[in-house]
Amino acid sequence: MMVLCLTACTTETPSPLVCEVTGGKVQGIPSDDPDVIVFKGIPYAAPPIGALRWVAPQPVLPWDNVLLADHFGPISFQPPHVAGPDSTVISEYGQVDYVKEFFSEGDPQMSEDCLYLNVWKPADAKKGDKLPVAFWIHGGAFIAGFGYEKEFDGDAYAKRGVILVTINYRLGVFGFLTHPDLSAENADHISGNYGMLDQIKALDWTRENIANFGGDPDNITIFGQSAGAMSVRNLLCSPMTKGKIAKAIIQSGGAINPDGSEGMSALPLAEYEQLGKTLMGDLSIRDLRQMSYDQLQEVIGRYTAAHNLPFLMLQPNVDGKVLEGGLSACLEKDFVPHIPIMMGSTLDDMAFTRMGESYAYLASRLAEKGEAPYVYEFRRRLPGNGSGAFHSSELWYVFNTVKRCWRPLGEADEALSERMVDYWTNFMKTGNPNGEGLPEWRACTNGLADVMEFDIEK
């Protein structure tokens, strides 16, 4: 486990920098804003290595001294973000060079030992304050990303009285490989969904520990974008999260079509088991557990080359334990919790996540269940190279990190970001994004007539 401990710390004197968590004590550090304390790289489960590869996350290994949480933990193995030429040609809105956008500084350390989370809290927050909690799940097609990408930050949330938790979880072959032999060794006869189980483990950790940071375990808003948004949908459809989620925000995660179909919906366990068997051929699970990430990627690479695929997106499956079904089916069975929901997309988003009939239909389905959602469309077309309001472009604004962006963003962008974070934090506090000084955002009960549009004031 990647742990650095303070051997000289004493525990007799209470400190706002030190919190008791599952496994031991952790000491945070002042964030860039002196009114915020950040705890980086807190382990929430045992390292999923060796015999724990392709096993549900296990209890965290305890430590003796105070863990100095001053650096982020390793991230899940994933394809490296390799920078291309700066002259990337953007021929239409929606195209973007994601390496230049978010990963130009290179990748952090990658490891199978990746189950770490981060907490931002107000410096004066203490146990008993019961502050609302925001639980962020990063995107990346379930094969990439991490919880502390440069567009993510918790200062703006903590300054508004919301505690932010961001997480890493297993990705790709380590997070979502499904195989009949893995199912056979599991007591519930399931496999895959290890990344989802990591998310649930981190959510459970948050419920068990966040009160010590000043948070309210009964007021947790889960939110995510792209694969993170699909994860939010899945968590709403999981038997393992019942009663654990107070609110949800789905950013560019697709919706539901009138025929019941869903963009990038989870497939049944049996289908993914067959895919895993096809992928791995005659290799045994014992063989696979001894192979490195690069060796496993070579195996997958042969499959994608043979099928002329640019990449293989392994993702969650419907196994009846971790995931009951897709959102459409779970709404039909009234399985989705009756909680406030916010959802939306960007103007030039990917096709299956773009605003349209599917959002109107999902909004109407939720309204039928008594939970009219708040729906938005992010319409700010970012300057710089013609990418427009591309998939993920709103992240600079949702986390108030527009000053970190390479694009020529100005005061109007900062004002838009402040407004969006106000809406987001109001929703996290009360289930209603409206607040003093903000234009009214009506719940969506009339098709898409009540969609909130986010753009700079021109």
User: Do β-strands 5-6 and 29-30 pair in parallel, antiparallel, or remain unpaired?
Assistant: unpaired
At 69 the pLDDT is 97
Q: Are residues 238 and 324 in contact, defined by beta-carbon separation less than 8 angstroms?
A: yes
Q: Which of 13-17, 232-236, 379-383, 392-396 has the lowest mean pLDDT?
A: 13-17
- Give the residues across from 234 on adjacent strands: none
The pLDDT of residue 261 is: 84
In this model, does residue 7 exceed pLDDT 50?
Answer: no
- The Cα–Cα gap between 251 and 345 comes to 6
CB count within 10 Å of CB 307 equals: 9
Whole-number percent of the chain with pLDDT over 90: 85
At residue 11, the pLDDT reads: 40
Give CA angle at 254 (250, 259), nearest 5°. 130
pLDDT of 379-411, one tens digit each?
A: 999 999 999 999 999 999 999 999 999 999 999
Beta strand 24-27 with 66-68: parallel, antiparallel or unpaired? parallel
Residue 87 has pLDDT above 60, yes or no: no
The tens digit of pLDDT for each residue in 173-210 reads 999 999 999 999 999 999 999 999 999 999 999 999 99
Region 6-12: mean pLDDT is: 38
Q: Is the dihedral of CA 93, 99, 105, 107 positive or negative?
A: positive
Instruction: State the Cα–Cα distance between residues 177 and 304, nearest whole angstrom.
Output: 15
* Cα separation, 257 vs 262, whole angstroms: 6
The first and second tokens of residue 457, run together, are: 């004031």
The DSSP secondary structure of 262-325, one letter per residue, reads BTTPPEEHHHHHHHHHHHHTT--HHHHHHS-HHHHHHHHHHHHHHTT-S------EE-SSS---
Write down the pLDDT at residue 14: 58
> If 0-12 CB within 10 Å is exposed, 13-18 middle and 19+ buried, where does residue 198 land?
buried
Number of Cβ within 10 Å of residue 390's Cβ equals 24
In this structure, of 16-30, 82-96, 430-444, the range with the lowest mean pLDDT score is 82-96
Tens digits of per-residue pLDDT, 327-383?
Answer: 999 999 999 999 999 999 999 999 989 988 899 899 999 988 888 999 999 999 999
pLDDT at 368: 87
CA distance 316 to 267: 8
What's the pLDDT band for 257 if we cut at 50, 70, 90? confident
On the question of pLDDT at 13 being above 50, the answer is no
Residue type at 229 in one-letter notation: A
Between CA 3 and CA 1 the distance in angstroms is: 6
Report the pLDDT value the prediction gives residue 10, as an integer from 0 to 100: 36
Mean model confidence pLDDT for the chain: 93
Going by C-beta distance under 8 Å and a sequence separation of 6 or more, which residues neighbour residue 251?
223, 224, 225, 226, 228, 229, 343, 344, 345, 394, 398
Alpha helix (H) residue ranges in 177-253: 180-184, 194-209, 227-236
